[in-house]
């Protein structure tokens, strides 16, 4: 299948692109501006801004796109609060433009494009406990709201028979496969940076007992492949992608110390209100697509993230 991967040069998108190539798909790797900072061997590199519908139409026609894994988006919660219009412009209008570009392609009406959307557990808002796809979506910030709107766009497109669509609501993605996660607003990359001496201290809310669901980026890439290959015409399915196993911040700190053999200085802050446990119920994707979190145990997440960071530092030296 000829697959367009948007956000293909990001932490998750690069793994998805390479995973699809490894499974025999042709990949067009999209970046929004300039030359990519690395290559994806075997992929066709392309440049277009998701907010430029005409450019996306030309790209879809020229490359004869049959499927899309749409990971190109703005993803920082706090930034979305301070700059909401940019998030809606990129995440909502960008998705709408991409769907419209696929519709304008000259393809048999019996062959709607396959579309896998990168969504997020943030659509559930402030809910706690083990979350399932049947729980109400009540996003608490513009990032989550923009992703829910993107889901609705592809959902209505599928209902009209224009797409074969699946939305993947991913929980906390970690680990690495080639490219390390450089976003230090996320706890595992920040803890690894402290262990490497690239950051001074890891600040912890309260005692670090809050529990979250972490899933390996390679397991996420496999979810994209299975979703792409199983998407059905005229249907929009939604799947949680999570390990179903809770990991606390304190456990992450101890795992980073254990795996790296390095100290991780911490500072405990006065507790701020936060959900004590947010976990995925991922039974639906397990039962319907046969997916499983094969690499998502804590030590593997930390080891792969650490190894990727060490290798990047060695290449940059």
Predicted TM-score (pTM) of this structure: 0.96
Sequence-distant (≥ 6) Cβ neighbours of residue 270 within 8 angstroms? 206
State the pLDDT at residue 106. 61
State the pLDDT at residue 315. 78
State the pLDDT at residue 60. 93
Phi, psi of 163 (to 5 degrees): -140, 160
Q: Nearest CA to 245 among 295, 292, 279?
A: 279
Q: Nearest CA to 6 among 126, 85, 84, 101?
A: 101
Q: What 3-state DSSP class applies to 28?
A: strand
Residues 172-182 pLDDT 10s: 999 999 889 99
- The token pair at 231 is 């998407």
State the pLDDT at residue 271. 80
State the pLDDT at residue 276. 92
Query: Does residue 258 contact residue 299 with C-beta atoms inside 8 Å?
Result: yes
Confidence of residue 6 (pLDDT cuts 50, 70, 90): very high
SS (H, E, C) 275-290: CCEEEECCHHHHHHHC
Domains present along the chain, CATH in parentheses:
2-173+214-241 (3.40.50.720), 177-213+245-277+295-316 (3.90.25.10)
Mind telling me the catalytic residues? 143
Query: Does residue 69 contact residue 6 with C-beta atoms inside 8 Å?
Result: yes
- The token pair at 154 is 């592809």
User: What distance in Å separates the CA atoms of residue 203 and residue 198, rounded to the nearest whole number?
Assistant: 14
State the pLDDT at residue 104. 85
């Amino acid at each position: 299948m000829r697959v367009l991967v948007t956000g293909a040069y990001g932490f998750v998108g690069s793994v998805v692109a390479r995973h699809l190539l490894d499974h025999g798909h042709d990949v067009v790797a999209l970046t929004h501006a300039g030359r990519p900072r690395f290559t994806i061997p075997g992929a066709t590199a392309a440049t277009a801004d998701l907010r430029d519908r005409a450019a996306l139409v030309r790209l879809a026609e020229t490359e004869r796109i049959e499927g899309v894994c749409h990971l190109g988006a703005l993803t920082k919660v706090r930034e979305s609060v301070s700059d909401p219009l940019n998030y809606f412009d990129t995440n909502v209008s960008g998705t709408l433009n991409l769907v419209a570009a696929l519709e304008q392609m000259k393809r048999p009406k019996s062959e709607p494009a396959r579309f896998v959307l990168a969504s997020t557990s943030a659509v559930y808002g402030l809910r706690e406990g083990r979350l399932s796809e049947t729980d109400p979506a009540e996003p608490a910030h513009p990032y989550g709201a923009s992703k829910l709107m993107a889901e609705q766009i592809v959902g209505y497109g599928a209902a009209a028979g224009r797409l074969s669509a699946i939305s993947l609501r991913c929980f906390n993605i970690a680990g690495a496969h080639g490219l390390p996660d450089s976003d230090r607003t996320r706890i595992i990359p920040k803890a690894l940076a402290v262990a490497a001496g690239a950051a001074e201290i890891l600040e912890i809310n309260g005692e670090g007992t809050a529990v979250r669901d972490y899933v390996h980026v390679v397991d996420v890439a496999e979810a994209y492949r299975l979703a792409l290959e199983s998407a059905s015409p005229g249907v929009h399915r939604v799947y949680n992608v999570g390990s179903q196993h809770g990991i606390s911040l304190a456990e992450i700190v101890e795992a980073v110390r254990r795996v790296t053999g390095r100290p991780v200085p911490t500072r405990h802050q006065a507790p701020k209100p936060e959900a004590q446990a947010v976990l995925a119920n991922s039974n639906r994707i397990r039962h319907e697509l046969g997916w499983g979190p094969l690499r998502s145990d804590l030590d593997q997440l930390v080891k792969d993230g650490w190894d990727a960071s060490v290798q990047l530092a060695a290449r940059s030296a």
